[in-house]
Structure 1
Amino acid sequence: MHLEQLKYIVEVAKTRSISNAAQNLHVSQSTISKAITHLERELSINLFTRSRLGALPTAEGKNIIKKAYEIVIKLEEIQEEAQTQTSLINGEFNLSASPSLFMPILLKTLAIFKKDYPNFKVIMTEKISPNIMEDLIQGKIDIGLAMIDEVDWNAHEELVYETLLEGRVMVCVSQHSPFAFSDHITPEELIDETIVMYDEGIWKDSISAYMNRYGPMNILFASNNTEVIKKAVSEGLAISFLMDIALKDDHYVKSGEIIPIPLINIEPSRRSFGWVRSKNKHFSLAAREFLKYLKLHISKLE
């Protein structure tokens, strides 16, 4: 029995796929398949049931895989302890963030973290919240930063999360809009307005469902590229709904090209955002350290 075999069966159990496990571990499918076969022969039990649907742990295999996971975690903790003793954090971790939610805060946090830990590599992607959850479940990323409202956490017991901050729904209008000098806006006032929507599943659906109570919305387009959305608003092509936290230090707002105005008489008017991780993936020292930096930066904004 070798440590590589234990790592392989843990990764296959996470992804339920030999091909995905091979991709994540940067080895060939045949390497993993042979390693599992040899381990099964050594233990005289079948660890997985292979089919067109993937590789699923057998009843006998589940306990073995659980113990293998514990061993892999301990090994990673030993490696991290060695790094801690030399006061260095090396390596990399994968992070996904919802683009309109955390970018202004996240980019500054990354800059500070990178300055203190220049040898560490953070691989960051932008995805909508449902895709972030799926990547966490499949073990593709270490941390997700996303909207956590309306997620059925009972259906995702393998995930844990923490709320970091709340955001308020704002109506973004051009400086030349008749609304530009309003203290607030109600849904009824927006019935005839042309709208560009942020294309986040939960966000878009909840806003659309609420606004449609007052009449069909005139949606020009939907996008998860907030720069495109803000450009359309600044040029007076449409209005949009964004969170106040997505507009902190925004250059369109600072220049006065976009005016954010609170949207009232809408429930819920505030949304919760936070970090999410999988219980089945090792919570690395670097990931924990990065979250400390993120929380510290958020505390300075409050």
Structure 2
Amino acid sequence: MTITQLQYVLAVAEYQNFTLAAQKSFVTQPTLSMQVQKLEDELDILIFDRSKKPIALTEVGKKIVAQAKNIVAEAERIKDIVDQDKGFIGGDFVLGIIPTVMPTLLPMFLPTFVKRYPKVNLIIKEQATDTIIRNLQDGHLDAAIAATPLEIEFIKERPLYYEPFVGYVPKSHRLAKETELQTDMLDIEDVLLLQDGHCFRDGVINLCKSSRSANGEGFQIESGSFETLVNLSNEGMGMTLLPYLNTLELDDKKKLNLKHFKNPPPAREISIIYHKSELKIQITEALKEVISGIVRGAIAFQDVEIISPLNK
């Protein structure tokens, strides 16, 4: 039994197809199939039921895959131990970032991180929170940046910063004359939302739970971008809420429509999250240090009220 054989088994279990598993493992399909077959022969069991389409795990195969994940992770930890002992910070590192954070945060920290840690090959993927959670569990991401708390058993969360919500209120809106917003002023019926699947959307819905009850009249508009929500607001379709860092890029005319909340403002907690196995923790720590240091200067708010990203 070898680590490579276990890695091939995990690939087949994930993709449920030998050809695709071989492609993702960068080997030929006959090589991968032969190594999986050798392991099955050695153990005298079948890990996969090849008669099913797609290929499925046998009952004993499910137990073997669960244990193989632990063994492969522990084997990778050995290299981590050596790297940490040598003080080496480098190699491939796959980082997931949620869509409502990526456009504003990435340009802020990436140039500094690349300059400070040139030996790290940072591979960045924009992914929704549900996808990030799944990929952290499957080992396809080394870490991610997401809105927290998520309260998931196998994930560790390290807060990076707290980003206040800011109202974007056009002059025609009922709240246009208010100098400061309060959460009880919000009415979910006239707040433009991101599309379903965005954790920022769920945070806004949670924030509005104490607002007026919906009357079922009018319309509801959802969009995939904050830019579209701002443009719709300017057309008199309602107000919207923006993360603070997104407001920094608005032009001066649009900034006139911004309204801050009365202290403490509602905010979202943005954290770097990673699997509890803590693989490549030295790179995760380096990312946390760089991002926290840069964003701390951009967000001056101290006391905030954290709004959960979970739509409970």
> Normalized against structure 2, the TM-score is what?
0.72
Q: Does structure 2 conserve the Cα–Cα contact (< 8 Å) formed by 1:174 and 1:180?
A: yes
1:99 and 1:2 map into 2 onto residues whose CA distance is: 39
- Aligned partner (choices 194, 213, 218) of residue 198 of structure 1: 194
CA distance in structure 1 between the aligned counterparts of 2:10 and 2:188, rounded to whole angstroms: 54
Aligned mate of 2:259, from 249, 258, 261: 261
Question: 2-side partners of 1:280 and 1:261: how far apart?
Answer: 43
- Give the match for residue 309 of structure 2: none
Larger mean Cα displacement after TM superposition, 37-46 or 52-61: 52-61
Instruction: Quote how far apart the aligned CAs of 1:275 are.
Output: 1.7
What is the Cα deviation at residue 297 of structure 1?
A: 1.9
Q: 1:73 pairs with 64, 77, 97, which one?
A: 77
Matches within 5 A, 1:151-162: 151=150, 153=151, 156-162=152-158
Q: How big is the shift at 1:109?
A: 0.7
Asked if structure 2 preserves the Cα contact closer than 8 Å seen for 1:173 and 1:236, the reply is: no
The alpha carbon displacement at 1:127 in A equals 2.9
Once the two structures are TM-superposed, the CA of residue 244 in structure 1 deviates from its matched residue by 2.4
Distance change >3 Å, CA 212–CA 176, structure 1 → 2:
closer
Asked whether the equivalents of residues 169 and 242 of structure 1 are also in contact (C-alpha less than 8 Å), the reply is yes
Count of aligned pairs between the two proteins: 289
Distance 1:203 1:48 in 2: 40
Shift of 1:38: 1.1
Q: CA deviation at 1:257?
A: 1.0
SS of the counterpart of 1:122? strand
Q: Which amino acid aligns with 1:108?
A: M
Tell me whether 1:107 sits opposite 2:107 in the alignment.
yes
Deviations 1:271-293 (CA, angstroms, capped at 9, x unpaired): 32212222368335434322221
- In structure 1, what is the Cα distance between the partners aligned to 2:104 and 2:231? 17
Q: Does the Cα contact within 8 Å between 1:97 and 1:146 map onto a contact in 2?
A: yes
Aligned to 2:142: 142
Q: Secondary structure of the residue that 2:293 maps to in structure 1?
A: helix
Structure 1 residue matching 2:101: 3-state secondary structure: helix
State the AA in 1 paired with 2:78: K
Structure 1 residues without counterparts, runs of 5 or longer: none
The one of 152, 157, 163 equivalent to 1:167 is 163
Q: Which amino acid aligns with 1:171?
A: G
Give 1:221 shift: 2.5
Identical amino acids, percent of aligned pairs: 19
> Cα–Cα, structure 1 residues 103 and 130, in superposed 2: closer, same or farther, change >3 Å?
same
Counterpart residue identity of residue 193, structure 2: M
Shift of 1:112: 0.7
Distance 1:138 1:212 in 2: 42
Letter aligned with residue 167 of structure 1: E
| Structure 2 residue 127 is the aligned partner of structure 1 residue 123 | no
Consecutive unaligned residues of structure 2, counting only runs of 5 or more, are 301-312
Please give the per-residue CA displacement for 1:168-200, whole angstroms capped at 9, x wherever unaligned. 332212367564452223566555975421234
Three-state SS of the structure 2 residue aligned to 1:111 is helix
Tell me the equivalent position of 1:272.
Answer: 269
Query: Within 2, Cα distance between the matches of 1:53 and 1:75?
Result: 32
Q: Give the conservation status (yes or no) of the 8 Å contact 2:9–2:65.
A: no
> Which letter does structure 2 place at the counterpart of 1:134?
R
Distance 1:242 1:41, change over 3 A: same
CA RMSD of aligned residues (A): 3.9
